[in-house]
């Protein structure tokens, strides 16, 4: 994602939190939290949080009720508000970790996904102070964990590829041609899905939902929680998105021929859940 694209995304988010639906959330908090009554809009809240001399305790006065409300109802609007508040920190993290991924757009997508996962784990009753530091540190930590898994997977696959090619050259029977083909198909499928996001035939949320559950081991239940959906809603959303992709690609979903063999291991399922 270029700087211009990211700036446009941010401006779009600013307009979103300025909507009446989001202002209603601010009024709801102001009823119980007198400190927040000084702000007319969420943009005023964001401007306050950007003051350089602001102390952590003053930031906590804003963040604590937001996280408490989010924990209570898991409304996705709270995560949009928090995304705008923490946007400069995410941009700084993206710049600091730019060497981790040759594709800056991929790094940004993974970073924002990890950030949303962190938001869903924050409990202000257990950690009521220094919440800004907690969110930023946890996001950086979990981003490293995600890339560490990718690096280890890449080393494993590179070693396996060398072993496969060596076996093939020697005429051995151990060459896993089917798994090798699945991995190649998976990489091609992701490229197709990214193009679908660019041409707006697939939303970013649906991209994360499909790739996350079909290739990256995340359970549908976990993805649903991060997106602020219940399990059945996420399941139906994925079905609709995959049906649209099958229509676009003449009856075949790009991931249909690229199941979890890409990772050389099965996907995790949520306990007690069965996926289609």
pLDDT in tens, the chain (276 residues): 555 778 888 999 999 999 999 999 999 999 999 999 999 999 999 999 999 899 999 999 999 999 999 999 989 899 999 999 999 999 999 999 999 888 888 888 889 989 998 999 999 999 999 999 999 999 999 999 988 887 876 665 555 555 554 554 444 444 444 555 555 666 777 777 887 877 778 887 788 888 888 776 678 887 777 777 788 888 888 888 888 877 776 655 555 444 443 333 334 443 334 444
SS3 content of the chain, % helix, strand, coil (to 5): 70, 0, 30
Predicted pLDDT at 218 = 75
* Cα–Cα separations (whole angstroms), residue 28 to 37, 76, 218: 10, 16, 34
Separation in Å, CA 49 to CA 58, 59, 89, 97, 228: 9, 6, 12, 24, 25
Nearest to 224 by CA among 269, 153, 232, 100: 232
Distance of CA 245 to the CA centre of its chain: 21
Cα(112)–Cα(131) distance, integer angstroms? 18
pTM above 0.75, yes or no: no
User: Please, which residues have CB within 8 angstroms of residue 105's CB and are 6 or more apart in sequence?
Assistant: 1, 194
Measured over all CA atoms, what is the biggest interatomic distance in the chain, rounded to whole angstroms?
A: 76
- Phi, psi values for residue 89, rounded to 5°: -65, -40
Write down the pLDDT at residue 271.
33
Distance of alpha carbon 41 from its chain centroid, rounded? 27
Q: Give the Å distances, CA to CA, from 231 to 206, 210, 213, 221, 275.
A: 14, 14, 12, 5, 10
Check: CB of residue 114 under 8 Å from CB of residue 146. Answer: yes
CB 103 within 8 A of CB 150: no
The pLDDT, as a whole number, for residue 246 is 76
Distance from C-alpha of 83 to C-alpha of 96, rounded to nearest angstrom: 18
Residue 231 contacts residue 224 (beta carbons within 8 Å): yes
């Amino acid at each position: 994602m270029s700087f211009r694209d990211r700036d446009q995304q941010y401006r779009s988010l600013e307009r979103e939190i300025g909507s009446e639906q989001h202002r209603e959330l601010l009024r709801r908090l102001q009823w119980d939290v007198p400190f927040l009554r000084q702000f007319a809009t969420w943009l005023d809240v964001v401007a306050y949080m950007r003051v350089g001399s602001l102390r952590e305790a003053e930031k906590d006065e804003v963040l604590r009720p937001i996280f408490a409300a989010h924990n209570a109802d898991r409304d996705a609007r709270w995560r949009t508000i928090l995304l705008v508040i923490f946007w400069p920190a995410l941009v700084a993290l993206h710049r600091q970790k730019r060497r981790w991924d040759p594709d800056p757009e991929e790094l940004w997508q993974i970073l924002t996904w990890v950030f949303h996962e962190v938001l869903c784990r924050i409990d202000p009753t257990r950690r009521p102070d220094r919440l800004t530091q907690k969110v930023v540190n946890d996001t950086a930590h979990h981003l490293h964990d995600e890339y560490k898994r990718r690096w280890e997977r890449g080393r494993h696959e590179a070693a396996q590829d060398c072993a496969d090619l060596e076996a093939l050259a020697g005429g051995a029977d151990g060459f896993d041609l089917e798994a090798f083909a699945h991995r190649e198909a998976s990489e091609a499928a992701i490229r197709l899905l990214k193009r679908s996001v660019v041409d707006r035939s697939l939303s970013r949320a649906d991209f994360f939902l499909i790739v996350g559950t079909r290739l990256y081991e995340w359970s549908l239940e976990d993805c649903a929680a991060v997106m602020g959906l219940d399990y059945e809603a996420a399941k139906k959303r994925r079905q609709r998105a995959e049906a649209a992709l099958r229509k676009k690609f003449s009856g075949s979903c790009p991931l249909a021929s690229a199941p979890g063999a890409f990772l050389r291991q099965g996907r995790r399922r949520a306990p007690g859940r069965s996926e289609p």
